[in-house]
Structure 1
Amino acid sequence: MRQQSDQRRELGAFLRSRRERITPDQVGLPHTGRRRTPGLRREEIALLAGMSATWYTYLEQGRDVRASYQVFDALASALRLDRHERGHLFRLAGHAPAAEAEEPEPLAVEVAAVPLLLQPHPAYIIGGNYDVLSRNQAADELFPHLTAAADRPANFARWVFLEPVARDVVVDWELEARGLLARLRTPAGRHPGDVRYTRLIDELKAGSPEVRAWWPQYEVQARHGGRKRLRRPGRGVVDFAYTAFHLAEQPEQTLVVYTECETEPGNRQRT
């Protein structure tokens, strides 16, 4: 019952965050006087989704009400959700396969060895909650102080937000940190009440004013590759490309591999 209540509150918070980011102009609604809250009113979203304002309000308040897949499909369209946000909405609403019982994430021995084989390229494997399950020496050098606590493994989200050196190493810290938090939100929504997520999020909120400010905004992303600028001792700022591979038997576990991007000799930054 507690887990269901937590999931309803998560659903309500997600709906509210998405409603508040849409302006009347975006959906072709006229301006009707001064607005006390950002974004659309509850009645306006309900109108766009073809449902009663009372029923929508109950959903946003986290009440114990049931709505069909078709209702949430209409809400997803009215809220202009992207593919990942739609999936998150349906999972919170109970219209997606239930997650398996939460247990410590297993990592096969042969999989744990993969980052070692990728040396000298920095590589690591993270679990759904960003626990670092395996990494090589190059990753340790690229991300200093990425260390385990006495009772738990190293955690990449904890490093980004709570380890002071991270703000020096990660050049575009705010952009990267916001993206990481949005990617953490997706698996956290699949595991409401799981202590691996709740304890981590509580710890991040307690130690980081940015997490306290950004978590209620309810941004959602999927894990992906990209580019990142990292500062290396004696070399200044180095551009990296990183690639994320989801493991076939444990899809929430991700192998991340970094490679330096080629730059012209005169264009390397020294910051």
Structure 2
Amino acid sequence: MTTVAPDSDVRRHELAEFLRSRRERIAPEQVGLVRGQRRRTPGLRREEVAHLSSVGVTWYTWLEQARDIHVSAQVLDAVARALLLDVSERSHLFALAGSLDPAPPAQCPSVTPAVRAMLDQLGPIPACVQNSRYDILAYNATYGRLLGNLDDKRPEDLNCMWLAFTDPQWRAAVVDLPATHRVMAAKFRAAMAEHLGEPAWRTLLDRLVGVSAEFREVWARHEVVGQGTKSKDIRNAHVGLLRLEHTNLWLGPGAGPRLVSYVPRDQETRERLEQLERLAEPSAAGVPVSV
């Protein structure tokens, strides 16, 4: 009979091997340490990484031994900096640890300069790029003011699910909030079916369950619905009611990143979007987050 190790055990051992490999590739001189004549350890010693990360030596040793210990995002951030991880390596570290990166990279590989130029050219039509988890990866000026002020949000909060259930400005702008909540939760559940083992999806789900009774209620319905074009009414705080047509344009194969646009359904809405674009222009739109 074949025994399959639990997913958590596999991840801990992968994390331990990854940390060890990154530690062994760094020369002491790269982090300001003096190489002694009797050094036999390739790269850095465990106690040196612990010191650079401001964590206990025993704790870091347990981490490389794949012990079942709690690892906070702040400690992972410190370890990532001590090990000089690049953007891809840092993302891999947090994925293995099942933790949300508190300082995600400033750029997203899904948003090329051409895609960003397209977003800007679409103005005054509100448009953004989202991934299948509903993270907002980039947006133009009009979208940045459509449902509040996205420029004021923390990078880890730039997610449509999170904002729809927790952000007062976003919630106030949605005309039919209960119906929107049901549809969004159903779409999220359908999308999550292909990502059940991924830490980023589980982290977002746990955050929503932990803070929103409304989300817990609609999530318990187990409803699913696919993506599609639909009409949407938004009550913008600056220009009033906007009657829009929600459209997805997929940027790659499968249910990956997509360009989401909100086309006006009438002339009055178009004029109000033009007014909103003029109001939004002084700010810097499109702050991207990690995928």
| TM-score calculated relative to the size of structure 2 | 0.52
Contact 2:173–2:237 (Cα < 8 Å) also in 1:
no
Describe the shift of the 1:194–1:121 C-alpha distance in structure 2 as closer, same or farther (beyond 3 A).
same
**Sequence identity of aligned pairs in percent?**
26
SS in 1 for 2:261: strand
Describe the shift of the 1:207–1:147 C-alpha distance in structure 2 as closer, same or farther (beyond 3 A).
farther
State the distance in 2 between where 1:148 and 1:195 align.
Answer: 26
Q: How far did residue 155 of structure 1 move?
A: 0.8
Contact 1:182–1:220 (Cα < 8 Å) also in 2:
yes
In the other structure, the counterpart of 1:162 is 166
Contiguous gaps of at least 5 residues in structure 1 = 5-100
Paired residue type of 1:199: T
State the distance in 2 between where 1:229 and 1:181 align.
Answer: 18
Bigger relative contact order, structure 1 or 2 (CA pairs below 8 A, ≥6 apart)? 2
Q: How far did residue 147 of structure 1 move?
A: 4.9
In the other structure, the counterpart of 1:186 is 190
Paired residue type of 2:234: L
SS in 1 for 2:223: coil
Matches within 5 A, 1:211-230: 211-230=215-234
SS in 2 for 1:199: helix
In the other structure, the counterpart of 1:106 is 109
State the distance in 1 between where 2:242 and 2:262 align.
Answer: 11
Q: Does 1:134 align with 2:134?
A: no
Contiguous gaps of at least 5 residues in structure 2 = 9-91, 97-103, 273-291
State the distance in 1 between where 2:237 and 2:197 align.
Answer: 40
Q: How far did residue 167 of structure 1 move?
A: 2.1
In the other structure, the counterpart of 1:143 is 147
Once the two structures are superposed, residues 35-72 of structure 1 have per-residue CA deviations (whole angstroms, 9 ceiling, x without a partner) of xxxxxxxxxxxxxxxxxxxxxxxxxxxxxxxxxxxxxx
State the distance in 2 between where 1:254 and 1:234 align.
Answer: 27
Matches within 5 A, 1:1-271: 1-3=5-7, 106-109=109-112, 110-147=114-151, 152=156, 154-249=158-253, 251-262=255-266
Q: How many residues align?
A: 170
SS in 2 for 1:111: helix
Contact 1:145–1:163 (Cα < 8 Å) also in 2:
no
SS in 2 for 1:130: coil
State the distance in 2 between where 1:259 and 1:126 align.
Answer: 17
Describe the shift of the 1:264–1:149 C-alpha distance in structure 2 as closer, same or farther (beyond 3 A).
closer
Contact 1:125–1:255 (Cα < 8 Å) also in 2:
yes
SS in 2 for 1:217: coil
Contact 1:125–1:134 (Cα < 8 Å) also in 2:
yes
State the distance in 2 between where 1:157 and 1:2 align.
Answer: 29
| Larger mean Cα displacement after TM superposition, 127-136 or 185-194 | 185-194
Paired residue type of 2:109: P
Q: How far did residue 230 of structure 1 move?
A: 0.5
Describe the shift of the 1:142–1:246 C-alpha distance in structure 2 as closer, same or farther (beyond 3 A).
same
Larger Cα-atom Rg: 2
Q: How far did residue 133 of structure 1 move?
A: 0.7
Q: How far did residue 134 of structure 1 move?
A: 1.0
Q: What is the RMSD of the two structures over their aligned residues, measured on CA atoms?
A: 2.9
SS in 2 for 1:121: coil
